[in-house]
Structure 1
Amino acid sequence: MAFTLKSSAFADGDKIPPRYSRDGGNVSPPLEWTDAPQGTKSFVLAVEDPDAPSGTFRHWAVYNIDAQRNFLPEGTTAGAKTESLGHGVNDFGNPHYDGPQPPPGHGLHHDHFRLLALDAETLHLGEKAAVEDVLKQAEPHVVGEAELVGTFERA
């Protein structure tokens, strides 16, 4: 089977509910995945919006997700008691999830939730590492990728 990422909050290609937007509850949606590639030692999750007026906008990155995990619950801010999740600093300047908030009237935006399976157990990054830096350090270790795309628009 294929490595897949899904959410009980919205289907691939569907609208992200306002609860998961920056104007709504601003909580991360529940995410779950199946069939990680052989040799996966950890995961990185990143959320990016390539439709932003200034280029790709990075909303979130979580790294050092244990390879035994297959979900992140709604409102993920920390790991399980046995796990220390790292959070990249997003383009809002925050080390946590910030949901979609495109400029009003800018049209439909596509938020890409990308789950990277890595052959490394740990990425060694500082507390203020940007989402972009998380992805750069993860890149040489990627053994698989799953993606879920949600849309969002502000009138």
Structure 2
Amino acid sequence: MKLKALAPAITLIMAASGHAASLSLSSPDIADQRPLTHLQEFNSFGCNGGNTSPALAWTNAPAGTKSYAITVYDPDAPTGSGWWHWTLVNLPTTVNSVPANVGANLPAGAVQGRTDYGQPGFGGACPPVGDAPHRYQFTVWALKVDKLPINNQSSGALVGYMLNANSLAKATITASYGR
């Protein structure tokens, strides 16, 4: 009897959630569950790729979004803690995409943190030779703050902590790469 009384409320909640679009991420350069190309391979550490960040675009940010961030993380790196390939924060809400190889042409106020290669900017895939292909998680974050207190020497772990503490939503493309 009580469940029958709740049916209209449950239907209303389900209908409302069915119409809410969620943050989504797309790219003309990479695809979910597909391998990266030689362009996204690092150019050092024994790798000789183009070290080019892919073009990324996102839509359907949740209400209250005040800035965006982008990260690239390899959870399969043989470090015990994964590998940060890129952290880009403080993208204003007027920016809903970045072109390939955006590095030197960042929007005003945007900051790239230090990768696990030891420098700021994009650091492409470079898994050890013979490893099974690694997963590379390209994630856009919608944040509830205008700016994170990050500089170009901030570690991936610090950026990750700040992102998780201020996230409203995130969307991920998981690509792979092996050598």
How far apart, CA to CA, are the structure 2 residues paired with 1:27 and 1:63?
A: 18
CA distance in 2, matches of 1:127, 1:16: 26
Residues 127-138 of structure 1 correspond to what in structure 2 (within 5 A)? 127-138=152-163
Which of 74, 86, 94 in structure 2 is aligned with 1:68? 94
1:127, CA displacement in angstroms?
Answer: 3.1
Higher strand share: 1
Amino acid at match of 1:2: S
Task: Please identify runs of 4+ aligned residues in structure 1 that moved more than 3 A.
Answer: none
CA distance in 1, matches of 2:134, 2:151: 30
Which residue matches 1:12? 32
Q: Deviations over 1:68-108 (max 9, x none)?
A: 2110110011423xx22111101010101010000000111
1:19-34 equivalences in 2 (<5 Å): 19-22=39-42, 23-34=48-59
Unmatched runs of 5 consecutive residues or more in structure 2: 1-20, 43-47
* Matching residue of 1:40: 65
Match of 1:59 among 79, 85, 90: 85
Q: Does 1:139 align with 2:159?
A: no
Gap regions ≥5 residues in structure 1: none
Q: Find the structure with the greater CA-based Rg.
A: 2
SS in 2 for 1:58: strand
Structure with greater helix share of residues: 2
Ranked by relative contact order (alpha carbons within 8 Å, sequence separation 6 or more), the top structure is: 1
Distance 2:133 2:140 in 1: 22
Task: Give the deviation of 1:138 after TM superposition.
Answer: 2.2
The question of whether the paired residues in 1 share the 8 Å contact of 2:112 and 2:151 is answered with no
